Amino acid sequence: MKGKQYLTRSEDFDRVYRQKAAWASRLLVLRAAENKADFTRYGYSISKRVGNAVVRNLTRRRLRAIMRRTGLKPGWDIVLIVRPAAAQAHFSELNQAVEGLLRRAKLLDQKNEISCLNTD
């Protein structure tokens, strides 16, 4: 089913926000909650403080590209909250921030380690 990897319902976002687990960097905040499924879903929270619609959509597309190529452990719902500094960040900076947060949260699948992160 196409799109099953995305969080779309506000109830799902609220459930993730209620969890105490959060990891932060200069560009992003990662929140995660178990979902008792055999796949991991993710969503993005990007406020208008980040920039206009063009900037927010560009940032969202970059994050989607990063997450698509990332090997994640199954059974989690993840929300990436974008901070305003991410609007001026290059793709490689966002890549490193996502990798660092996922490593700290221990959500990376060890056999499918992020292979795309060395884009330099």
Instruction: Say yes or no to pLDDT of 85 above 80.
Output: yes
Q: Over the stretch 96-116, which tens digit does the pLDDT of each residue have?
A: 999 999 999 999 887 655 444
pLDDT of residue 114: 47
pLDDT of residue 88: 94
* Domains (range + CATH), the chain: 10-106 (3.30.230.10)
Instruction: Say yes or no to pLDDT of 7 above 60.
Output: yes
Q: Over the stretch 34-71, which tens digit does the pLDDT of each residue have?
A: 988 888 999 999 999 999 999 999 999 999 999 989 88
User: E strands of 37-120, at which residues?
Assistant: 41-45, 76-82
Q: Which residues on adjacent β-strands are paired with residue 108?
A: 72
Cα separation, 75 vs 40, whole angstroms: 5
